[in-house]
Chain A
């Protein structure tokens, strides 16, 4: 069991309002990702859920119980931190055991859970080592193991992959996804990386400047962003935004994703000059300086050769352009 409900949570540090009224429902077994730019309050929200930070106002309910005044250790949660935060003076085994010992679990039960967790994360050979004797990836697995053995109602992850190198990040991401599938536990995961968000989440919560911009499944956010911020944040390369007036449209801004543009050397809607091309192998990003639309990015599948300085015509897919009003809201 592990459902979470957040009701109108606000948090201020002195005069600075970091969270400006957050409402959220997380169902049992869901994998929810908080995503947003750095400093938007994701970690603060996670710490409020964990009880490490008191909300200025609002309520947090875990399994329908108000835990707003409950200390972190009693909330039935476990947390994995960006910096691993392993106890440097304890072995891997003792790192995992500490929380259970504090909670007064019998030794046999602790042993059983540590064995199960270390098998699941292939940590058996390292149980006697100290954190200083492990690599970054191993440390993060120990941190995940320490969360696992608590058998929490709610797993909280705060950017657990951002200190790992690219290859390890993909592996660990996969491990976390498999872990979720196997445990069917409720997980809340914070990241600023939209790729992590898209690949892991059942449900994404897009945060910006202390507010929720949109909540939805990854494809829902991709196909029907509620506003300009979400449209720009989800998808890579970023969506192109063009001033509506320059295109003769009535709306403030027109958006089109780089992958929803086609190019042709002879004819098309927007004439432009090639500024730069990026060859990624599987696809090619062409930067075009257009007369009508300004600087835009076009993503072409496969290899495409375009000399900088040459002329290309870009044509947006009319069915997949987005229109935003003056407040940035999507116009249907």
Chain B
């Protein structure tokens, strides 16, 4: 921050507000993580205290790793998230480029149609989607989930990316055309690097709902071989007894991969923003 805009009370005030918000936002995560390291009794007696040597217990984690195929569930979640993300970004960016770059009949209408999905929740179509998957024999496959999540992520991706792509200099694309670059090269080599911050934003917005989703895994792919982490954690959630240690441990573990992905994308995001600022 520059000297001219930084007065001490203001700085303290701003930090106080931001810190308060951070604490409130992170509190549930914090509680989940600390309790995952405690014995069952301690979870219920002192849910807000961090584990002490007396209450420290890894029973949750041992249950999770002992029980069934948690590694498989993680792998499934990872595959579904990363592959869907890849398709959303690829197809979203390509559609956005076509919509923002080429003038063709029905361009605006097509844009509106593709953006409609932002307003209509895909879950309304669950029954039809299930019928479709049954008919095409895709039930209990990861492909079913990837297809659904790709469809779910595309509208927002196209909407955000086409706005950003309109901002990419026409001259640059035209310079590429005069130098004999194909439209694909112009798209992949000139335009995509320039909208990288937008891609990172879209990636973050797309990834988290997919990773957290319980609905479609439960309906489309509940088999043992295709369970995702969120679905896998449900086995500890019984009608009469709930294994809280295991649930909390599973949830704590589930945070890690998505945190790593987020860090990767947010670094892109920040780099993109600062590179624009000092240009």
Contacts and interface: CB of A to CB of B under 8 A. Distances in A.
A52 interface: yes
B169 A102 contact: no
B190 A79 contact: no
Contacts of A77: 178
A87 B177 contact: no
Interface in B159-192: 169, 171-172, 174-181, 189-190
A103 B171 CA distance: 20
B180 A82 contact: no
B180 A79 contact: no
A132 interface: yes
A89 B179 contact: no
A146 B174 CA distance: 14
A82 B175 CA distance: 11
A159 B177 CA distance: 19
B279 interface: yes
Q: Name the residue among B171, B181, B189 with the largest chain A CB count within 10 angstroms.
A: B171
A85 B174 contact: yes
Interface size bracket, B side: 10 to 19
A78 B178 contact: yes
Contacts of B209: none
A21 interface: no
Interface residues of A, number: 26
B43 to A, nearest CB: 53
Contacts of B178: 50, 52, 72-73, 77-79, 99
A99 B193 contact: no
A81 B177 contact: no
B104 to A, nearest CB: 12
Contacts of B279: 132
Given A87-B190, A132-B279, A99 B179 contact: yes
B194 interface: yes
Nearest to B185: A102
B166 to A, nearest CB: 15
A72 B181 CA distance: 10
Q: Please indicate which of the listed interface residues B177, B179, B193, B194 has the most CB atoms of chain A within 10 Å of its own CB.
A: B179
A304 to B, nearest CB: 45
B171 A83 contact: yes
Contacts of A103: 180
A132 B277 CA distance: 12
Nearest to B182: A102
Contacts of B193: 88-89
B257 to A, nearest CB: 30
A217 interface: no
Contacts of B181: 98, 102
Interface of B: 169, 171-172, 174-181, 189-190, 193-194, 279
In the complex, the 3 A-B pairs of residues with the closest C-beta atoms, listed nearest first: A73-B180, A99-B179, A85-B171
